[in-house]
Structure 1
C-alpha cells in the first residue's frame, strides 16, 4: 500500500504529528511506500521521500499549488492520500469533486482543528461548516483528533468521521523531586510552564495579564514565540521567555517544571497537555475543545474557564507539592492508556486498510 501525505504548513503540533506518523509508516509491513508533499525540507525525511511545494494561501496562488500537487499524485499513484489541515484538505478534495483525482485513490482527511470551531465571525464559521460538509462527500474517511472534534463534526452533518486521538512517543517518567527531610518545599520555588505560539488562540495574553495582576509566588516559564506579532504582552521580571526550543531542550524544560498551564481560547486537541502528562506533570487547562477530553478534572489537573484564570493562579499557589505530584502521576497513567503514538499510528494504518478494501 502506497501512502502520500499532503500538508501545506509545518508548525508546532502538526510537524510533531507528521514526524511521528512518518517514523511508524516507514517501518510498517502494511505500507510499501510513504511520501510527503510539504512546503519545505525537514530533517526527519530524506529527499527521496519528500516533494516540496511551497505553501499557497492567496487565491491566485492556489491554482498553481493545485497543479503541482495534481502532477505529483498522478506520478506517484498512491493507494491512499492523507490530507492534513484546511488548505491541503480543501484544495485536493475540491480537485477530487471535479474529477481530477483518480477514483481508485482513497482520500483520508484530518483538519487538525476544525476552522468552524475557532473564534471568529458567525458567517465565516457557517461557511466553513458547509464547505467541510460538502467536501466530506468526496472523502473516504475523516480523522478527528479528539472526541470533541468528532462530536461537533457529527452535529453539523459531516460524515465518515473516526476519532483517533493524537499520540506521542513514550518517555521515561520524570523523577519525583521530593523535598529534603526537614526542609518542606515552598511554592516560591515552583516553575509553571507554558508552551506554544504567542498568539490569541493560545491565550498567552490572558495568562500574562493575570500573572501581572495576581503576582503569584511561582515563576512562569514561557516556551514559544510570536508568529503574527498581533498581541501586546504584559511583562514581568518573574516571567522567563525562552523562545522556541529544540526537542532535547524542550524535554529538559518540561521535566524541570512543577506543572503546565494551557490557557487556550480554542483547541482541536491540545498536544501540550499530553506532552506534560507523558512527563508526569499536572496540567491546568482551559475548558475548551479537545482539552476537556485530555485533562481529567481534579485527577490529572484542573479545567478552568479563561474568565477565572486569576483564581487558577491562586489555586496553583495553594496546592501542596504532594498534590501536584499525585496529579502528575495520574496524568502519566492516562497518557499510557489513551495517548501513546503506538495507539494512534496503529489506528491510522488500520483505517487506511479499511478504506482501501471498500
Structure 2
C-alpha cells in the first residue's frame, strides 16, 4: 500500500500528529511507501519522502497549489490519499469531483477540527458545513479526532465518519517519570498553560480572570502568538516562557501541579492529553473534544468559560491529594485511550478497509 499525505498547513497539533503518523507508517509492514506533501521541509522527514508545495489562501495561489498536487498524485500513484485539514481536504476532494484523481486511489480525510464548529459568523459556518457535507460523497473515509467531532458530523449528515482519537507517544514524554507526583506541600502551587496565544485558546480570558481573582497560585504561560489576533497585557505575577524545546517543555509539565486549558473551541485538545500522560490533572473549558478527554472530578475539572473566575478560586482551594488523585487517574485514561500506537493502528486498519 502506498500512502500520500497532503497537508496545506502545519499549525497547532497537526505537525505533532503527522510526525507520529510518519514514524509508524514508514516502519509498517503493510505500507510500502508513505510520502508527504507539505508547505515546507521538516526535520523529521527526509527530502526523498517530502514534496514541498508552498501555499497561500488567495484563489490564484490555491489553483497553483491544486495543479502542483495533481502532478504529484499522477507521479506517485498512491493507493490512499490521506488529506489533513479543511483546505487540503477541500482542494483535493474538489479535484476528485472534477475527475482529476485516479478512480482507484482511495481518499481518507481528517479535518483536525471542523471549521463549522469554531466561533465565527454564522454564514461562514453554514458554508463550511454544506461544503463538508457535499465533499463527503467524494471521500472513502473520514477520520474524526474526537467523539465530539463524530457527533456533530452525524448531526449534519456528513457520511463515512469514524472516530480515531488523537494519540501521543509515551516514550517521548519521559515514561519512567510520568506517574511520579511531586511534593507540593511546601511551595506555591504551579499552574501551567501551553498553547498558541490566540483567541481560540482563550489566553485573553485566562489573563483577565487571573487579574480579577488574583489567586495564590503561580501561572506559567508556554507558547507564543501565531495569528496575532489578540493584544495581551503581561504581568510581573505571570511567567511567560515563550515556545520551548521538547526537553524544556517536558520539564515545565513535570514541575507543574495542574494544567489549565481555557479554549473557546477545540476539535480535540492535545495539551490535555499531554498533561494526562505526565499524571497532571486538567482544568478545561467544557467545549469541543475537551468534554470527551476530561472526565469531571475524575482526571480534572470542566467549567463553562463564563465561570472561569470560580475555577481559578477552586484551583487555589482544592486539596493537594485531590490533584494527585486526578493526575493518576488521567495517566490511566491516557494509557487506555490516547496512545499513538492505538491511533496509528486504527488508521492503518482504516486504510486496509478502504483499499479492499
TM-score by length of 2: 0.97
Do 2:179 and 2:328's aligned partners in 1 also have CA atoms closer than 8 Å?
no
Do 1:192 and 1:261's aligned partners in 2 also have CA atoms closer than 8 Å?
yes
Q: Name the CA distance, whole Å, in 1 between partners of 2:299 and 2:229.
A: 33
Q: Name the CA distance, whole Å, in 1 between partners of 2:127 and 2:12.
A: 26
Does residue 177 in structure 1 map to residue 178 in structure 2? Answer: no
What residue in structure 1 maps to residue 323 of structure 2?
324
Shift of 1:230: 2.1
Which SS does the other structure have where 2:18 is aligned? Answer: helix
Which SS does the other structure have where 2:151 is aligned? Answer: helix
Shift of 1:178: 3.0
Does residue 59 in structure 1 map to residue 63 in structure 2? Answer: no
| Number of aligned positions between the proteins | 351
Q: Name the CA distance, whole Å, in 2 between partners of 1:98 and 1:261.
A: 45
CA displacement 1:318-353 (0-9 Å, x = unmatched): 011111111100000000000000100000000000
Q: Name the CA distance, whole Å, in 2 between partners of 1:55 and 1:245.
A: 26
Do 1:212 and 1:235's aligned partners in 2 also have CA atoms closer than 8 Å?
no
What residue in structure 1 maps to residue 141 of structure 2?
141
Shift of 1:174: 4.4
Q: Name the CA distance, whole Å, in 2 between partners of 1:318 and 1:125.
A: 40
Shift of 1:291: 0.2
What residue in structure 2 maps to residue 11 of structure 1?
11
Which SS does the other structure have where 2:290 is aligned? Answer: helix
Which SS does the other structure have where 1:81 is aligned? Answer: strand
Q: Name the CA distance, whole Å, in 2 between partners of 1:305 and 1:185.
A: 31
What residue in structure 1 maps to residue 252 of structure 2?
253
Do 1:174 and 1:255's aligned partners in 2 also have CA atoms closer than 8 Å?
no
Do 1:2 and 1:31's aligned partners in 2 also have CA atoms closer than 8 Å?
yes
Does residue 40 in structure 1 map to residue 45 in structure 2? Answer: no
Alignment of 1:330-341 (within 5 A): 330-341=329-340
Shift of 1:12: 2.4
Does residue 204 in structure 1 map to residue 209 in structure 2? Answer: no
Shift of 1:3: 0.2
What residue in structure 2 maps to residue 309 of structure 1?
308
Q: Name the CA distance, whole Å, in 2 between partners of 1:56 and 1:71.
A: 18
234-243 or 157-166, which deviates more: 234-243
Q: Name the CA distance, whole Å, in 2 between partners of 1:51 and 1:174.
A: 40
Runs of 4+ in 1 over 3 A off after TM superposition: none
Do 2:217 and 2:316's aligned partners in 1 also have CA atoms closer than 8 Å?
yes
What residue in structure 2 maps to residue 150 of structure 1?
150
Q: Name the CA distance, whole Å, in 1 between partners of 2:290 and 2:163.
A: 15
What residue in structure 2 maps to residue 243 of structure 1?
242
Shift of 1:231: 1.1
Do 1:112 and 1:144's aligned partners in 2 also have CA atoms closer than 8 Å?
yes
Q: Name the CA distance, whole Å, in 2 between partners of 1:93 and 1:145.
A: 19
Which SS does the other structure have where 1:20 is aligned? Answer: helix
CA displacement 1:161-216 (0-9 Å, x = unmatched): 0000000001411422235xxxx435xx1111101110010000000000011111
Do 1:221 and 1:240's aligned partners in 2 also have CA atoms closer than 8 Å?
yes
Task: Name structure 1 gaps, 5 residues minimum.
Answer: none
CA displacement 1:98-141 (0-9 Å, x = unmatched): 00000000000000000000011111111111000000000000
Kindly report the root-mean-square deviation, in angstroms, between the aligned alpha carbons of the 2 structures. 0.9
Q: Name the CA distance, whole Å, in 1 between partners of 2:116 and 2:350.
A: 25
What residue in structure 2 maps to residue 114 of structure 1?
114
Q: Name the CA distance, whole Å, in 2 between partners of 1:185 and 1:155.
A: 50
Q: Name the CA distance, whole Å, in 2 between partners of 1:155 and 1:100.
A: 30
Q: Name the CA distance, whole Å, in 2 between partners of 1:331 and 1:154.
A: 28
Alignment of 1:178-193 (within 5 A): 178=183, 184-185=185-186, 189-193=188-192
Task: Name structure 2 gaps, 5 residues minimum.
Answer: none
Shift of 1:237: 1.2
